[in-house]
């Protein structure tokens, strides 16, 4: 029988790589804390209608990328979450039907599932770091959320990112714009590709972000959505831009930015990295005030948020050499046995040291001292602790620093102190 392989579009993450995830997650946790955001965890599956209503039935995600199934023959269809925003809003409305306190600040690092064609930076199971600010979506709130995202990138040392922003206006603005756009595109119909023609009736705005150069050439001359937005929405957008400029956050207004999820209105944004090739979007987000009502909420919950693809973040950081300083840690102490009859003693010593907060490894396979030393070096242990009959009898052990070869003769109780001192050097 052929050996089993990981499912197409999914990946295993081994310890060599997990250190990168832990490092990035540490930065995310500390930056989000600076802005007062706390973590939320929601189930990996939701009722399918949540995404149909929330993300929009004409979007690619709902149309063809969801992993959906029936839990039992008469049950309601369930879907593995393709994104977090709809689930977070659902959870929030369930807990706070009246809307709760003015601002809830939530972040997540979560696994998601989309049935896309796998390629570099595009998986079927992937992870997003994201944040949702629920209860307020003023220009200041939008700027705050964008600032937090950019501070995470900054703290990780990422360079060469581009922040693109646009305003999608409100429902009326978009309805007027849709008509204008169709009227503009009508004479080019025979030059549009298949996906664009499909979008022409259902969701013509998505034609604007086509990756096909022939379509891009056509839409370059299209009327601008921003010009259709009435004065109040326009003024709000200008305030967002003003706040970004105040915080020295460089941005570019991109008239073709529309995003692939239907819940957005007013400000939308995306961050792209030149390190990512075809899948160049590192993250994106925007305001989504209409989502709460769309999900059956009694009250409208103004909201703004973003999400960043962790795998893409790792690819971009790797290309910029930002993991070079991350060295894997070995155990502090490797217990080396003079002969295997002392195995019981060694286990007792390991146990005692571990309870004193020292990380310890020992040979569990009864190998020679030479093989044990090789293993200590392979694991990058800081110190070797030699255990023989004499040491056990006297209670005095030899501890060798494996980097400097300095040796100490000491009791077990003195070991944590010596390790502590050496970690400061
Ligand atoms: P999104 O643009 O669909 O937005 O996804 C955000 C990011 O997730 C993308 O920029 C990309 O880095 C990553 N991503 C998406 N699909 C894949 C994939 N198949 N493989 C690897 N990475 C992927 C959202 O999901 C919105 N919920 C963001 C949001 C939060 N808006 C408001 N709040």
Q: What is the pLDDT of residues 137-156, one digit of tens each?
A: 999 999 999 999 999 999 99
pLDDT at 114 over 80: yes
Which of 127, 106, 130, 158 lies closest to 18 in space, CA to CA? 127
Whether 6 is in a domain gets the answer no
pTM: 0.93
The whole-angstrom separation of Cα 422 and Cα 401 is 9
Distance 83 CA to ligand 1 centre (A): 7
**Binding site membership of 282 for ligand 1 (Cβ less than 6 Å):** yes
Report the pLDDT value the prediction gives residue 424, as an integer from 0 to 100.
78
215 domain residue, yes or no? no
Number of domains the chain contains: 2
Residue range 42-51, pLDDT digits in tens: 999 999 999 9
pLDDT given for residue 422 in this prediction: 85
**Are the C-beta atoms of 181 and 223 separated by less than 8 Å?**
yes
- How far, in Å, is the centroid of ligand 1 from the Cα of 133? 17
Q: What is the pLDDT of residue 385?
A: 97
Do 77 and 134 reside in the same domain of the chain? yes
Q: Is residue 315 part of a domain?
A: yes
- In this structure, what CATH number is given to the domain that contains residue 157? 3.30.930.10
Q: What is the pLDDT of residues 79-98, one digit of tens each?
A: 999 999 999 999 999 999 88
Please state the atom number of ligand 1 nearest to the C-alpha of residue 122. 20
Q: Is residue 246 within 8 Å of 238, Cβ to Cβ?
A: no
Q: 412 and 305, same structural domain?
A: no
Q: 362 in a domain, yes or no?
A: yes
Lowest mean pLDDT among 147-156, 257-266, 271-280: 271-280
Ligand 1 closest atom vs CA 307:
28
Domain shared by 118 and 239, yes or no: yes
Confirm or reject: Cβ of 122 under 6 Å from ligand 1. yes
Q: How far is the CA of 112 from the centre of ligand 1 (A)?
A: 9
* Domain enclosing residue 384, as ranges: 333-423
- 272 and 392 assigned to the same domain: no
Same domain as 160, residue 110: yes
Nearest to 152 by CA among 120, 109, 92, 88: 109
Q: Strand 125-134's sheet: what is its strand order? A: 38-39, 104-113, 125-134, 303-309, 281-287, 267-273, 161-167, 252-253
CB-facing half-sphere around the CA of 281: CA atoms within 13 A? 18
Q: Is 128 in the pocket of ligand 1 (CB under 6 A)?
A: yes
pLDDT score of 357: 95
Long-range contacts of 95-99 (CB under 8 A, 24+ apart): 97/297, 97/298, 98/298, 98/299, 99/135, 99/299, 99/301
* C-alpha of residue 183 to centroid of ligand 1, in Å: 31
pLDDT in tens, 298-327: 999 999 999 999 999 999 999 999 998 887
Same domain, 53 and 147: yes
Whether residues 388 and 253 share a domain: the answer is no
Q: Which of 319, 348, 371 is where one domain is finished?
A: 319
Single out the residue in 296, 319, 342 at which a domain terminates. 319
Our answer on whether the CB atom of 284 is closer than 6 Å to any ligand 1 atom is yes
Residue 239 shares a structural domain with residue 337: no
Give the atom of ligand 1 at the shortest distance from the alpha carbon of 123.
20
Does residue 282 share a domain with residue 144?
yes
Out of 80, 81, 107, 128, mutate this one to test ligand 1's pocket (max ligand atoms within 8 Å of CB): namely: 128
| CATH code of the domain containing 390 | 3.40.50.800
pLDDT in tens, 191-216: 999 999 989 988 899 999 898 999 99
pLDDT band at 264 (very low <50, low <70, confident <90, very high): very high
Does 235 lie in the same domain as 340?
Answer: no
């Amino acid at each position: 029988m052929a050996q089993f392989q990981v499912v197409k579009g999914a990946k295993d993450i081994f310890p060599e790589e997990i250190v990168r995830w832990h490092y990035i997650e540490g930065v995310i946790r500390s930056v989000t804390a600076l802005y007062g955001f706390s973590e939320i965890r929601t189930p990996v599956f939701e009722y399918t209608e949540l995404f149909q209503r929330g993300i929009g039935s004409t979007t690619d995600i709902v149309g063809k990328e969801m992993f959906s199934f029936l839990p039992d023959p008469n049950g309601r269809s369930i879907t593995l979450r393709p994104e977090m925003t709809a689930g977070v809003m659902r959870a929030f409305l369930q807990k706070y039907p009246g809307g709760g306190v003015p601002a809830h600040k939530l972040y997540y690092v979560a696994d998601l599932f989309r049935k896309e064609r796998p390629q570099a930076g595009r998986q079927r199971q992937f992870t997003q770091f994201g944040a949702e600010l629920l209860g307020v979506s003023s220009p200041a709130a939008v700027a705050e959320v964008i600032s937090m995202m950019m501070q995470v990138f900054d703290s990780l040392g990422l360079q060469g990112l581009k922040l693109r922003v646009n305003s999608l206006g409100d429902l009326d603005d978009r309805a007027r714009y849709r008509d204008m756009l169709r009227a503009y595109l009508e004479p080019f119909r025979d030059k549009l590709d298949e996906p664009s023609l499909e979008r022409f009736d259902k969701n013509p705005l998505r034609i604007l972000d086509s990756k096909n150069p022939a379509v891009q050439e056509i839409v370059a001359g299209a009327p601008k959505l921003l010009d259709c937005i009435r004065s109040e929405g326009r003024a709000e957008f200008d305030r967002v831009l003003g706040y970004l400029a105040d915080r020295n956050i460089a941005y570019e207004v991109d008239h073709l930015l529309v995003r692939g999820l239907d819940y957005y209105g007013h400000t939308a944004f995306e961050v792209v990295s030149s390190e990512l090739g075809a899948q160049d979007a590192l993250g994106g987000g925007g305001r989504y005030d209409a989502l709460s009502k769309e999900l059956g909420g009694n009250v409208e919950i103004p909201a703004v948020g973003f999400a960043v693809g962790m795998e893409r973040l790792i690819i971009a950081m790797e290309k910029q050499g930002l993991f070079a300083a991350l060295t894997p840690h070995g155990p502090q102490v490797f217990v080396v046995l003079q002969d295997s009859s002392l195995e019981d003693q060694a286990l007792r010593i390991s146990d005692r040291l571990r309870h004193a907060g020292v990380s310890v490894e020992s040979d569990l396979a009864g190998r020679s001292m030479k093989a044990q030393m090789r293993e200590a070096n392979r694991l990058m242990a800081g110190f070797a602790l030699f255990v023989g009959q004499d040491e056990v009898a006297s209670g005095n052990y030899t501890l060798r620093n494996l980097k400097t070869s300095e040796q100490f003769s000491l009791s077990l109780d003195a070991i944590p102190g010596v390790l502590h001192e050496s970690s400061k050097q």
